[in-house]
Amino acid sequence: MARLCPALPPRAALSAGDHAELDLLETLERGLSDAYTLFHSVDWALADGPREQHGEIDIVVLNRAGEVLLVEVKSGEVEFLPDGIFKRYGARTREVRSQIGLQYSAIRRRLQDSGLPDRVSHLLVLTDVVVHSETVQWPRQRIVDSGDLPRIVSRVTEVLGPGEHDAQALPRVVAFFENRFRVEPDVSALAGRVTLAATRMSAGLATWVPRIEAPGGVVRVVGTAGSGKSQLALRLLREADAAGGRAAYLCFNRPLADHMARLAPVRTPAETFHEFALRVARRDGIVPDLSDPGSFAALADHCLTRVAEDPPDLDLIVLDEVQDLQPEWVQALLGRLRPQGRAVLLEDPAQQLYKDREPFDIDGAVTVRSDENFRSPRALVRLINALRLTGREIEPLSAWEGELPDPIVADGTDDMARATERAVQRCLDCGHALGDIAVVSLKGRERSALQQLERLGRWPLRRFTGRFDAGGAAIWTDGDLLVESVRRFKGQAALAVVLTECEGPALDDMTRRLLFVGMTRARMHLEWVLSPALEEAVGRALSDEGLGPA
């Protein structure tokens, strides 16, 4: 599969020509091998003394030798006349041959001026026209007409083969077409734009799910990490609060509940199921001993009984992390809905991290699926797909391409700490602030050596102590660098993530889920610290996919 830069935009409000170009790009992205990189809508400029020329190239195909193919796409009717090839745009007519000639000359000139190889070819794609004969003004072998479109991938490779890898030229030509200058990146400014773009692009669930009419009042959203489930939850809670309705948000994970509580309307409770059960118990005068491992099961049982007895009290309930909830909890909570109430259940089976949970159905629920990830870097999503960390392939739709992690292999507890310290330094070297980095361990707090430390290198750690204050708030150490377990960090994200203490002996089902959750916490950058055994297992998995070692 070819690399595409940048990601394709949403198709709303596009012209017929734009749709034709996007269809062609998607076909080339799927059909060409990873020896190719595709750029689209490439703006170019050429200064010749006081005179400047500007234009846009529809598609640029680059092979691993740094050789270039310029593809001009014309949809609709095109006329071949004695004095040229013409395309009409409303009342305006453009001569296609001179346009392509100017593009070809300008790109060759710009490459030469940059000291880059100027090996450039061209191809004209006519999506709605059949060309029956040769013409003197344009070679037929450089035209792909509507009859040739099913063979577009082979036609491209006939003109531009994969080439021999040129480690010197290729990165420079890629940077040229990515419009990259040799400057120090302002990561904070870039991060703001990436986060804003992800928020806008992932608004689909928040836009459409509220419009769905479910006869039973229950909508079940099965969405992958980064698909916009949290955005949807907050929109629903805010709209219910604005309308004067009574709403509640419940999930399984305490840090996620705390995070949502800071964003939800003041009058809307956002808590875990067990926090809700504890409130019900205290209302009934029960003071449980939370140090007793059996107290949580007793709280749950009491809660289910009381909810069944109490009259319905909610107009909206949002249940998050449904894959982590027990089915009897969900059924009982749905009983809190008033007759015209609405329930939205958010879940991702690939993030189910508890061995005693089983999938279950909800009678009458309308199911919406989303396999689009708008948050994680596209390169990282492709790695997730290659490792088959999820049962369904995820579509990478972030505005940020990112890069594949360069794993750091650590053997033993001491080496794991040193390797993690090195990974944090890598994040800092990339321009990320210490407060934007999260160290996320695949191990739980009790089993993690890192989560028992006071410092990692020169940085004091901010970590959960395992204790709560009298008001029920979690007690944290006063440090600068966040360290958390992957289970507790589920539902949250950071600009840069160091995924560490990855020590599974094999890529079994649970390890895949843990890695998936951990990797998808990163918005821009991921560092990966793993054991030799897991590195070997990852290498085998990638080799099975024909991708070589990690």
Q: How confident is the model at residue 400 (pLDDT cuts 50, 70, 90)?
A: confident
Helices (H), 32-147: 96-113
pLDDT tens track for 31-45: 999 999 998 888 777
CA distance 376 to 20: 28
- Beta bridge partner(s), residue 345: 220, 319
Read off the DSSP letter of residue 243: T
Q: How confident is the model at residue 244 (pLDDT cuts 50, 70, 90)?
A: very high
- For 396-544, the fitting CATH number among 3.40.50.300, 3.90.400.10, 2.40.30.10, 3.40.190.10 is 3.40.50.300
229's tokens: 């489930």
pLDDT tens track for 117-170: 889 999 988 888 888 766 666 677 888 888 888 999 999 999 999 999 988 889
Domain coordinates in residue numbering, the chain = 3-177, 203-373, 396-544
- Beta bridge partner(s), residue 497: 438, 526
State the pLDDT at residue 393: 94
Q: How confident is the model at residue 201 (pLDDT cuts 50, 70, 90)?
A: low
Read off the DSSP letter of residue 141: G
- Residue range 321-325: average pLDDT? 94
Task: List Cβ neighbours of 389 (8 Å cut-off, separation of 6 or more).
Answer: 350, 512, 513, 515, 516, 519
Please, what's the largest Cα pairwise distance for the chain? 94
pLDDT tens track for 416-464: 999 999 999 999 988 899 999 999 999 998 899 999 999 999 999 999 9
Q: Is the pLDDT of residue 327 over 70?
A: yes
Q: Is the pLDDT of residue 272 over 70?
A: yes
Residue at token pair 């055994």: 533
Q: How confident is the model at residue 520 (pLDDT cuts 50, 70, 90)?
A: very high
Task: List Cβ neighbours of 10 (8 Å cut-off, separation of 6 or more).
Answer: 201
As a CATH number, domain 3-177 is 3.40.1350
Top CATH class of 203-373 equals alpha beta
The answer to whether 159 and 124 are in contact (CB under 8 A) is no
Asked whether this chain's domains 203-373 and 396-544 adopt the same fold, the reply is: yes
Residue 316 φ then ψ, to 5°: -145, 135
Q: How confident is the model at residue 202 (pLDDT cuts 50, 70, 90)?
A: low
Bigger pLDDT: 82 or 486?
A: 486
State the pLDDT at residue 549: 45
The answer to whether 333 and 218 are in contact (CB under 8 A) is no
Q: Is the pLDDT of residue 92 over 70?
A: no
The answer to whether 73 and 59 are in contact (CB under 8 A) is yes
